Structure 1
Amino acid sequence: MIADGHVDLLMEVAYRERRLGETNVFAETWLPLLERGGVGLQVCPIYVDVTVQPEGSLREALSMAASFQRALRENDDRLVQVTRASDLDAVESGERIGLLLSLEGVECFGVETWPADVFHALGVRMAGLTWNRRNAFADGAAEDGGGLSRLGRELVDHLVALGVILDLAHASHGLFAELLDRAAGAPILCSHGGCRSVHETPRNLDDDQLRALADADGVFGLMLHPIAIGPERRTIDGVIDHLEHAASVMGIERVCLGGDFTRRLWQAMPPPPEPKDGLMPPGLTPGLGIEGLAGPEEYPALVEGLERRGWAAADVASVTSGNLLRFLRASLG
């Protein structure tokens, strides 16, 4: 079984429902891909283009939450929403695919903290404060390293009180350190990123950050995208290089998967504006994927690659599902 910490599938589902008027979209698009790849748990982030103004971004975020709920209703014999640890029983037994709702950036909050209560009521159990850019709460990975604003500190305290898992993906270096300190003892992970020692980019974590995350009892999800793996090494072997490095630094029990597959999104939707955050290397576009591992349906190829590399079956199971499931059981209560 695969447990995946990050795929932006709600972007396509909401687009096809709202803009194209299609019905039962999840069952006809992403569900067959998840099933083909053996995915038992999928974290589904709400991500809104950071160029959209706050009022519009809130509307788009709620639209994605509505699509998430619709997918659950229309496929209740095959899906379960994960909001507490007991929901994972059906996942681990193979009875249902679990979907967990998250936030990738809180730009849709504007300059208020109260939307956290609304999204928590809708089932959000994981939240990252930023995408790559600065917002009212914190600095993203493309910034020079600042951390939390006063408003951001208030929001972090509120999210911790709600029991929301904090996601360090897309955090600036300063935000990463400040969040670990301010939210000490709360559940924290990096849902999708890479290893900076293997490929240098601000989106990846250096070894000190990997160790700090392990010390905080968190897990690290490897982002299966060329921007993290490296444009020149976007192969399954390149992916395994990152997994092995993370395991050597943090311990095998701290490493999991955070797919962030985008090739299908850029085929199914109008391309977004070219990002101006400086993190996309020349010649690389979000529509490119890892060769042989560009979507969840191709996860069996990763398992085969790990086995070829000589990984023990127990270690393969830990990284592909066990570590993230264990973390969520402990974090969701």
Structure 2
Amino acid sequence: MIADAHVDLLLELGYRELRFGESNTFARTWLPLLEAGGVGLQVCPVFVELERQPEGTLREALGQATCLLRAVRENPDRVLQVRSVADLDAVVRGERLGLMLSLEGVEQFGYELWPAETFWELGVRMAGLTWNRRNPYSDGAAEDGGLSRLGRALVDRLVELGVILDLAHASPAAFAEIVSRLKGAPVICSHAACRSVYDHPRNLTDDQLRSLAAADGVFGLMLHPLAIGHDVRTLDRVVDHLEHAIGVIGIDRVCFGGDFTTRLSEVLPTFPESADGLMPVGLAPGAGIEGLQGPEDYPALLARMKARGWGDADIAAISSGNLLAFLRRSLPKEL
């Protein structure tokens, strides 16, 4: 089974359902792809495209969350929402595919803390404060600062609620400050790669990887050329990143955070692209790894890991065991 910490499938569901009134879009689009790739758990971020900010941010975020709730309601025999360890147990038993809500940026909160509680009640269990750029709470990877005073208060409120803090897209200063502030609360970097293998602002240094591990967190490898390397977009380079991360923080701290965008770039009329998207020159936003364009291609990656000499136990740990274990110790037991 594959457990994936980040795919923006709600962007497509929101586009089709909120703008054009389609129904059961998930069953016709992403569900077959996830099932073909053996995905049993998919973390689904709410991400509001920059051109819809600030006026439409809250409305769009709530709409995307509603699309996930619809996907569960319309496919009760195949899909469930993961809010607790009890839900996770059903996924592990293979009863249904699990979808878990996360936030990729909190711009929809405005300048207030109370929306954190609303999104928790909708099922959000993971949240990153920003997407590369600066917002009222934090600087992202395209900036140099850290948390604002409001951001520190939000981190504390998210911890109080039980939300897992996601360090993907955080600036180095924000990354360090969040880790130091958590004091044992769960933390993840859901989708990034290794700066030592490919030097890019979205990737983590070895010191950041060690800091994440020291905080009992996990690292999700982003399967996108932006992070893996726009000049070498191969499965072998993906495995190079996996092996480097494992060498730094151990086999039990690494998982997948796919962030596949090829399909989204083909479906959405204006796929997100901006100066602070940190896209290397010449790399299209929808570019993919050769042989790994979406979740349906996960078997090819597992086969490449096997060919590189990986044992079954280590493949199972990376593909699902580590993320599931992390969520088991981070989510509420039941609701």
- One-letter amino acid of the counterpart of residue 281, structure 1: P
Deviation at 1:20?
2.4
Deviation at 1:277?
1.3
Distance in 1, Cα, partners of 2:248 & 2:313: 19
Distance in 2, Cα, partners of 1:248 & 1:189: 18
Deviation at 1:45?
0.2
Structure 2 partner of 1:254? 253
The 1:162–1:94 alpha-carbon spacing in structure 2 relative to 1, beyond 3 Å, is same
Taking only aligned residues, the RMSD between alpha carbons, in angstroms, comes to 0.9
Structure 1 partner of 2:122? 122
SS at match of 1:305: helix
Tell whether the 8 Å contact from 2:50 to 2:272 is kept in structure 1 after alignment.
no
Structure 1 partner of 2:143? 143
The TM-score, its normalising length taken from structure 2, stands at 0.98
Distance in 2, Cα, partners of 1:223 & 1:16: 26
The TM-score, its normalising length taken from structure 1, stands at 0.98
- One-letter amino acid of the counterpart of residue 221, structure 1: G
Deviation at 1:3?
0.2
- One-letter amino acid of the counterpart of residue 199, structure 2: E
SS at match of 2:188: strand
**4+ runs of 1 displaced by more than 4 Å?**
none
SS at match of 1:192: strand
Tell whether the 8 Å contact from 1:160 to 1:186 is kept in structure 2 after alignment.
yes
- One-letter amino acid of the counterpart of residue 4, structure 1: D
Tell whether the 8 Å contact from 2:101 to 2:123 is kept in structure 1 after alignment.
yes
Q: How does 1:201-212 map to 2 (within 5 A)?
A: 201-212=200-211
Once the two structures are superposed, what CA deviation does each residue of 1:211-248 show, in whole Å capped at 9, x if it has no partner? 00001000000000000000111111110000000000
Tell whether the 8 Å contact from 1:130 to 1:139 is kept in structure 2 after alignment.
yes
SS at match of 1:231: coil
The 1:75–1:242 alpha-carbon spacing in structure 2 relative to 1, beyond 3 Å, is same
- One-letter amino acid of the counterpart of residue 283, structure 2: L
Structure 2 partner of 1:36? 36
Distance in 2, Cα, partners of 1:275 & 1:46: 18
- One-letter amino acid of the counterpart of residue 251, structure 1: G
Unpaired segments of 5 or more residues in structure 1? none
SS at match of 1:54: coil
Tell whether the 8 Å contact from 2:136 to 2:148 is kept in structure 1 after alignment.
yes
Distance in 1, Cα, partners of 2:68 & 2:142: 29
Deviation at 1:278?
6.2
Unpaired segments of 5 or more residues in structure 2? none
Structure 2 partner of 1:7? 7
Q: Which 10-residue stretch deviates more, 52-61 or 193-202?
A: 52-61
Structure 2 partner of 1:323? 322
Distance in 1, Cα, partners of 2:267 & 2:124: 25
